[in-house]
A and B are shown apart, each in its own frame.
Chain A
Amino acid sequence: DTGVSQNPRHKITKRGQNVTFRCDPISEHNRLYWYRQTLGQGPEFLTYFQNEAQLEKSRLLSDRFSAERPKGSFSTLEIQRTEQGDSAMYLCASSGLDTDTQYFGPGTRLTVL
């Protein structure tokens, strides 16, 4: 049973650069979620997809952030013109359509220098 996978696990970038993260959900899961976790805090919701449709976005998701799930399978999260405040762990989760239980991937830790 393959869980949620995320790549890369770690990313170090310079301020102003663009970065892209990938999430592969559990294969039969229709819903995919992105969260951001800063040091010492719980994860905060960013956005979620049902199949390929992006159904909800948090106000935390500024214009520099964009997420896609083009074929309803994997998803990408892109951050343009990164800032030091973007340094965080970016977590992806997935769930089935008729369940409230989300399963998380290992996360991508972003460090912006």
Chain B
Amino acid sequence: GDSVTQMEGPVTLSEEAFLTINCTYTATGYPSLFWYVQYPGEGLQLLLKATKADDKGSNKGFEATYRKETTSFHLEKGSVQVSDSAVYFCALSDPNSGYSTLTFGKGTMLLVSP
């Protein structure tokens, strides 16, 4: 079955540091890939997505590139802010299921200090 593996957290950084959160996936089809962000006590917000190989999703300074050869979708940001502190989830949607479900990783907590 489909699965998503993320690096374990928490990831602790100082403000303006470079961020990478690793994500790899296993899927039977050719999935769409997503990053969602969850702030404390809130639901998930879509951060970015990519639907085919070599696509780069980007939003609010965050980027991730769909790498089919390594089955990866790593999240990066050049300079993090305190306000980026949250839990980040990598997810996939499989066309073999008619895109009916999202499969999530366990999430990676990011803590950014001033």
Contact = CB atoms under 8 A, between A and B. Distances in A.
Interface in B66-111: 89, 91, 93, 95, 97, 99-107
Contacts of A105: 43
Interface residues on B, range: 20 to 34
B93 A100 contact: yes
Given A42-B91, A42-B107, A104 B100 contact: no
Interface string A37-59: 00011111100100000011000
Contacts, number: 60
B43 A48 contact: no
17 contacts: A4-B43, A6-B43, A33-B101, A33-B102, A42-B91, A42-B106, A43-B89, A44-B104, A48-B101, A99-B99, A100-B49, A100-B93, A100-B99, A103-B46, A104-B36, A104-B43, A106-B42
